[in-house]
A and B are shown apart, each in its own frame.
Chain A
Amino acid sequence: MMTITQQIIIIASVVIGTLLTRFLPFMIFKADKPTPKYIKYLGYVLPPAVFGLLVVYSLKDVTLTSLEGFLPELLAIGLIIVLHYWRRSMLLSIAGGTVFYMFLVQGVF
């Protein structure tokens, strides 16, 4: 078991690492100077790719070896797509998909 001081050092290392990943772009590209063209380009083309990465990241533990490993996710995402095309309401799509997923994992699979 670590001492309190060691625990504080570990937590501080994680805090500093996290701060660095968040502040670094703003430290390199200062607000008072114009942002380089290439970085500006990345700024507007990156978000769609990052949202794709987040979708995959949030589904990374899905397994294809058994039906219950992927079917609830697949069906719930299917419902989200239908709901979203139909109503374009973020809250409805998110709530509908989540409640349906809970029903599937608790009651069906």
Chain B
Amino acid sequence: MSLHDHLSTLKYAFPKTLPILAGFAFLGIAYGVYMHSLGFQPIYAILMSVLIFAGSMEFVAGSLLLGAFNPLSAFLLTLMINARHLFYGISMLDKFKGTGKKKVYLIYGMCDESFVINNTSRIPSDINNGWFMFYVTLLNQIYWVGGTTIGSLFGSMITFNTEGLEFVMTALFVVIFLDQWLKERNHISSVIGIAASILCLILFGTEHFIIPAMLIILIFLTLIKKFITKHEVIS
């Protein structure tokens, strides 16, 4: 790809990441402030955002560092909290094919938000798909690491009222869900996703509902496989 192609791909990818810029700047700063308040030097928050790059897990990692030394339970807790990434991977197996060396970074940087954008964007034929996904992932990580850095260095100086700004992430997920809903021919998978999650949230509580919800989703989608063909799900 020429430099011009890279610029036009970047130009196409950037607007799609704007909601993430708002959300990650806010949440990243909040994470930096949080780590600062636990007494960690800025380098901790920054390194964790570069190396882990999974928001909720980074908050948990902060408290893990203050508890008793138990690497095995830290590892198992991480698997549980981040288990949803397995579904992202399965959904992106084919989309990441043929992306060359970029693939390693596409997988490494696949947070909730990058998955959502890369999975749903319909890219015009003159834009390179692999580079588009690469820039979406990279921009998102830059926002997150940037927010974290600002938060851990200058967090205490922020004075304007940001209460409620974190809702931007909820709004993003609602809009993605809605957009998918308007496009799909039948809503069975969407309904299963919502119903299984609400049911498990009620049964297992906020801390432990994700894995049971994933299992129920998997079981139901497997049971209905016979009755569904590809063109019925996505128009």
Contacts and interface: CB of A to CB of B under 8 A. Distances in A.
Taking chain B's interface residues, is the majority helix, strand, or loop, or is none over half, making it mixed?
helix
Contacts of A61: 206
Contact of B173 (A6, A51, A73, A106): A51
Contacts of B230: 41, 44
B202 to A, nearest CB: 11
Interface stretch (B5-13, B151-159, B187-195): B187-195
Interface in A16-72: 16-26, 29, 31, 35, 38-61, 72
Most A CB atoms within 10 A — which of B57, B88, B189, B221?
B189
Contact of B19 (A25, A73, A84, A91): A91
A80 B190 contact: no
Contacts of B161: 106
Given A51-B176, A73-B170, A46 B15 contact: no
B173 A25 contact: no
Interface residues of A, number: 69
Given A22-B110, A106-B164, A2 B206 contact: no
A15 B164 contact: no
Contact of A101 (B47, B61, B167): B167
Contacts of A76: 167, 171
Interface in B182-218: 182, 184, 187, 189-198, 201, 206, 209-210, 213-214, 217-218
Contact of A10 (B71, B107, B189, B228): B71
Contacts of A9: 69, 71
A61 B163 CA distance: 15
B180 A51 contact: yes
A48 B184 contact: yes
Per CB-CB distance, the 9 closest pairs between chain A and chain B, nearest first, are A52-B193, A17-B78, A25-B89, A49-B193, A56-B197, A102-B164, A21-B85, A52-B194, A48-B189
24 contacts: A9-B71, A11-B52, A17-B74, A18-B78, A18-B85, A22-B110, A23-B108, A29-B90, A31-B98, A44-B233, A44-B234, A48-B233, A49-B193, A50-B84, A50-B217, A52-B177, A58-B173, A61-B206, A84-B179, A97-B167, A101-B167, A102-B163, A102-B165, A106-B164
Interface of B: 15, 18-19, 22, 47-48, 51-54, 57, 61, 64-65, 69, 71-72, 74-79, 82-94, 96-98, 103, 107-108, 110, 112, 116, 119-120, 161, 163-165, 167-182, 184, 187, 189-198, 201, 206, 209-210, 213-214, 217-218, 221-222, 225, 228, 230, 233-234
Given A51-B193, A53-B196, A58-B169, 18 more contacts: A10-B64, A17-B75, A17-B79, A21-B89, A23-B108, A26-B89, A29-B93, A31-B96, A48-B233, A50-B217, A56-B197, A57-B210, A58-B173, A91-B15, A94-B171, A97-B171, A97-B174, A101-B167
